[in-house]
Chain A
Amino acid sequence: MKVLSAFAATTALTLAAGTASAIDLTFVSWGGAYQNSQLKAYVEPYVAEHPDVNVVWDESSDAAVAKLRAMNEAGNLTWDLVDVTVADAMRLCDEGLAMEIDYDTMLAPAPDGTPASEDFGDFLLSDCFIPQIVYSITFGYRNDVAEWNGATPSSVCDVFDTTKFPGKRSMYKGPLYNMEWALLCDGVAKEDIYNVLGTDEGVERAFKKLDTIKDQVVWWTAGAETPQLLADGEVVIGSTYNGRLFSVIAEQNQPVSMLWDAQIYDLDGWIVPTGLPEDRLAAVKDFLYFGTDTQRLADQAKFISYGPARKSSAPLVGKHAELGIEMAPHMPTDPANATNIIMMDFPWWADHRDDLDAKFQAWLAQ
């Protein structure tokens, strides 16, 4: 009898679970500390409230566009929510692979009632893109270099000054960021950078400037390389994502400092792939409403030093979850750090990236 009732109870449970329709959602992100911050700030709190949702992670964001294209061609969509940079979001939106978002109905308003589209404001650079964080590409340098005789770099142009600051540099192995900095340090005004870069002479000018340090540069392709090279002493100054430098400086206590000058802003956020079946789409929408609200975005900053993309989140940024240090001064958007910023022109790069990349690779090979 006991056995029988126990059996009945388990059956009832299974049935209940069946009717509540447990659902598996696949989220795609970058792995590492960043994915962890998403897990801690929005996914875990959400799953705690919705035990029927099970989130599976796929660390494929760096190849997200290629994979979504392949999935679309094969007609087999296995992803539900994808974290990409704004440039990739634009490409996916252009190709119809990402869903257009109605910000004010799909996303939560700010606590004071400001609609989401206003709260995100200028960061809504593509109709399919839901921004989460503002990060920047900036330089970090070792602060124990004997040859520098106590001097420390204060401007991005010091990167190009090998007499005052000798030693190897690490820079991104592509035209992005490097061309902007080269032109800026060659005397081009910040607002003219993309106009100049649009001409053949401008490209040549940028390469000429880069030529002056070419033999001193180690080129990176993955964001983790510069922190490693700096920690090993292989390079004395190098560019990477600001969050990576934060972890080298604050979490690993390496003798490295930030050079915030002429940091280049970039955005990262969610896109929803087109063609999701209705039940999964509903689940994703429900998560997005919760996971991109003001508090959740502010919470994310407890785990990683990237600025929340909502204006209303900024005042809520608190202390690091483990180290207990104030996070605001480590944000790229902090006024003290943001004295000189470059806003990347994404549509311009969408047009010129292939062309400049071919030229850049040819220049590298010379």
Chain B
Amino acid sequence: MSDTTQASPMKAADGTPLKKSLTRALRRQKLRALALIAPLLIFVLVTFITPIADMLFRSVENQIVHDTLPNTVRALRDWDPASGEAPAEPVFRALSVDLQVATELKQHTRLGTRLNYENPGVSSLFRSSGRGADKIGKDFQDRLAGIDPAWKEGETWAAIFGSDEWLAADAAWAADKSGSQPAFRMREGIDEALPLAAHAFLMFAKDAEGAGKSPATTKPWPVFSDALAQDLESNPNPDPAALPAAEAPLIAAASAAVAGVEPFSYRDAFLAMNKGWGEVGTWETIQAYSSPYTAGYFLNAVDLERSPDGIAVRPPEERIYIKLFARTMWMSLLITVSCLVLGYPVAWLLANLRASTSNLLMILVLLPFWTSLLVRTSAWKVLLQQQGVINDILVWLRLVDDAGRLVMINNQTGTMIAMTHILLPFMILPLYSVMKTVPPTYLRAAKSLGATPWTAFWRVYFPQSIPGIGAGSILVFILAIGYYITPELVGGTEGVFISNRIAFHISSSLNWGLAAALGAILLGVVLLLYYTYDKIVGIDNVKLG
């Protein structure tokens, strides 16, 4: 009896085991706490983490080649670029179907743009061939329609490729367009019996559904005929079990007709369209970038490229990014140092002058801080240019002659001066807030113990201001390496940063993958610096106030 009482768990007032009741109460408490921070958490996730994750993903994403040319990529797997010859007929047959489908979906030029980043000239190759490939399909369509006009009707194709249930549901939906459109379902086994045509029809059905139309009543694409002819040529007697009974004779007649005609050379047709298809380089690019993920953007971002013998350094006339990264780092460092040198005495004055004077000084620090960035940058343009205020004064004072006006803008000097001025408050404010907490009695005590003013400053005051220096420097440096408006306006060619190239690729060249890779590297560098700083100085020593 006593054994059983000891083994039974303690119970709460309502009879549930105490342990269970406790965990439930704790969980409720945690959930309530989570609900409190949820708005902020969701906000940060949606506006900060997701875009960054998306950007990082874009820098390696490369699904477009695989998605647009699935059959070609598969056929190209066995081709060896070292053979020195463009691929053989099967690849061109697959390309014909893929390119026609892509043209209908308006994807081919998008793919051309993507591959053009790697191989200039591919863009126009795809654009011009889209029209040509369409013509091949139309020829086949005409021939097929000559055998039986039923091939011109969307219903015929839908009946072959759609499953019976879908056909019934789609017909019912198309009659009055009420309710939701039934999603396309493919007939069982048809993708093995007629693989290319089934693929083309699937893309067609998805496209028609996307536009809210019934695939059965939409005008069929010419590519179906081309794909069907290819399928029947490689397999003249497709599995009858996979075909719908009503359309089987139609297919048999088409198969007989295909067997009767002379084979069509897709390779010759494509080469006649554009001789770019005969170049090994074109195919090498397609093959090299056929995987859904690529390191290509990152290689490009560090001045490397893929070459036949592995990864190689780009030719010197194309190397810019490493140089820009290095310049961005070096100049940001210089800007940080000059902010520190200029800001430290000001912060010291702010912290140690009488309240009325220091308030006035504080306003002088904050006033530019509140002024628009563009206004301040443009003001520097007016001041620094060769016919500008500073040069005019120097000439008037006869310190320089008219021909020897100083070049202070559109170079690194311009960027340095303008950015130091713009970022100065970010150095002064953290320094000030730390210095404010250093009691003036320490300095007096040091002096009364016999220290010279310098020793008192260096041994007593300075070490206590280090957290402020750390905070200000990190702030200024991280802001500086991401700046692009000021360098763009006053930097000329020598004073621009990596961010200017990122902005260029985002809005002008539209090479978002490369922009993402450059951005990811920049992010990586910042995190690395932060980590190093934490290891050396310790992030706990940083004080912002």
Q: Which of B112-120, B467-475, B537-545 contacts A (4 or more CB under 8 A)?
A: B112-120
Q: Tell me if A40 counts as interface (CB < 8 A to partner B).
A: no
Q: Which residues of A lie under 8 Å from residue B112 when comparing CB positions? A: 94
Cα distance A74–B43 when bound, in Å? 18
Whether the pair B116, A365 counts as a contact (CB closer than 8 A) is no
The verdict on A91 contacting B385 (CB below 8 Å), with A350-B124, A365-B323, A365-B493 known, is no
**Who on chain B is nearest to A198 by CB?**
B121
The verdict on A362 contacting B385 (CB below 8 Å), with A94-B112, A218-B410, A352-B121 known, is no
Other-chain residue from A96, A347, A353, A363 in contact with B317 (beta carbon distance below 8 A)? A363
Other-chain residue from B109, B110, B385, B507 in contact with A66 (beta carbon distance below 8 A)? B507
Map CB proximity to B onto A94-120 as digits: 1 under 8 Å, 0 otherwise. 111000000000000000000000000
Whether the pair B106, A361 counts as a contact (CB closer than 8 A) is no
Shortest A40–chain B CB gap in Å is 28
The verdict on A94 contacting B318 (CB below 8 Å), with A353-B509, A355-B120, A365-B323 known, is no
Cα distance A234–B386 when bound, in Å? 6
Whether the pair A63, B507 counts as a contact (CB closer than 8 A) is yes
Map CB proximity to B onto A309-340 as digits: 1 under 8 Å, 0 otherwise. 00000000000000000000000000000000
Q: Which residues of A lie under 8 Å from residue B506 when comparing CB positions? A: 66
Q: Tell me if B488 counts as interface (CB < 8 A to partner A).
A: yes
Whether the pair B387, A234 counts as a contact (CB closer than 8 A) is yes
Cα distance A207–B356 when bound, in Å? 60
Map CB proximity to A onto B114-148 as digits: 1 under 8 Å, 0 otherwise. 00110011111001000000000000000000000
The verdict on A219 contacting B510 (CB below 8 Å), with A94-B113, A96-B110 known, is no
Whether the pair A351, B116 counts as a contact (CB closer than 8 A) is yes
**Who on chain B is nearest to A67 by CB?**
B507
Whether the pair A365, B324 counts as a contact (CB closer than 8 A) is yes
The verdict on A357 contacting B116 (CB below 8 Å), with A95-B109, A221-B488 known, is no
Q: Give the size range of B's interface with the partner.
A: 35 or more
**Who on chain A is nearest to B511 by CB?**
A354
Q: Tell me if B492 counts as interface (CB < 8 A to partner A).
A: yes
Map CB proximity to B onto A74-101 as digits: 1 under 8 Å, 0 otherwise. 0000000000000000010011100000
Whether the pair A66, B510 counts as a contact (CB closer than 8 A) is yes
Q: Give the size range of A's interface with the partner.
A: 20 to 34
Q: Is the interface of A mostly helix, strand, loop or mixed?
A: helix
Whether the pair B509, A364 counts as a contact (CB closer than 8 A) is no
Q: Tell me if B438 counts as interface (CB < 8 A to partner A).
A: no
Q: Tell me if A183 counts as interface (CB < 8 A to partner B).
A: no
Q: Tell me if A190 counts as interface (CB < 8 A to partner B).
A: no
Whether the pair B510, A69 counts as a contact (CB closer than 8 A) is yes
Residues 227-254 (chain A) with a chain B CB within 8 angstroms: 232-234
Q: Which residues of B lie under 8 Å from residue A221 when comparing CB positions? A: 488
Q: Tell me if A62 counts as interface (CB < 8 A to partner B).
A: yes
Cα distance A120–B120 when bound, in Å? 31
Shortest B120–chain A CB gap in Å is 4
Q: Which residues of A lie under 8 Å from residue B317 when comparing CB positions? A: 359, 362-363
Q: Which of B410, B501, B506 has the most CB of A within 10 A?
A: B410
Other-chain residue from A95, A234, A354 in contact with B117 (beta carbon distance below 8 A)? A354
Q: Tell me if B319 counts as interface (CB < 8 A to partner A).
A: yes
Q: Tell me if A358 counts as interface (CB < 8 A to partner B).
A: yes
Residues 35-69 (chain A) with a chain B CB within 8 angstroms: 62-63, 65-66, 69
Cα distance A292–B509 when bound, in Å? 29
Q: Tell me if B320 counts as interface (CB < 8 A to partner A).
A: yes
Q: Which residues of A lie under 8 Å from residue B110 when comparing CB positions? A: 94-96
Cα distance A155–B492 when bound, in Å? 27
The verdict on A91 contacting B510 (CB below 8 Å), with A234-B387, A354-B116, A365-B493 known, is yes
Map CB proximity to A onto B34-51 as digits: 1 under 8 Å, 0 otherwise. 000000000000000000
Map CB proximity to A onto B483-524 as digits: 1 under 8 Å, 0 otherwise. 000001000111000000100001101110000000000000
Q: Which residues of B lie under 8 Å from residue A358 when comparing CB positions? A: 318, 320
Q: Tell me if A285 counts as interface (CB < 8 A to partner B).
A: no
Q: Tell me if A280 counts as interface (CB < 8 A to partner B).
A: no
Q: Tell me if A205 counts as interface (CB < 8 A to partner B).
A: no
Q: Which of A69, A232, A355, A362 has the most CB of B within 10 A?
A: A362
Shortest B475–chain A CB gap in Å is 28
Residues 196-241 (chain A) with a chain B CB within 8 angstroms: 218-219, 221, 232-234
Q: Which residues of A lie under 8 Å from residue B492 when comparing CB positions? A: 218-219
Show 27 residue pairs from A and B whose CB-CB distance is below 8 angstroms, ordered by the A residue.
A65-B510, A66-B507, A91-B510, A94-B109, A94-B110, A94-B113, A95-B113, A96-B106, A173-B493, A218-B492, A232-B387, A350-B124, A351-B121, A351-B122, A351-B124, A352-B120, A352-B121, A353-B509, A354-B116, A354-B509, A355-B120, A358-B318, A358-B320, A359-B318, A362-B316, A362-B317, A365-B494
List 7 extra interface pairs beyond A350-B124, A361-B320, A361-B501, CB under 8 A: A91-B510, A94-B110, A219-B493, A362-B317, A362-B320, A365-B493, A365-B494
Top 4 A-B residue pairs of the complex, sorted by shortest distance between their CB atoms:
A96-B106, A94-B109, A355-B120, A362-B320
What is the interface of chain A, defined by CB distance below 8 A to chain B?
Answer: 62-63, 65-66, 69, 91, 94-96, 168, 173, 218-219, 221, 232-234, 347, 350-355, 357-359, 361-365
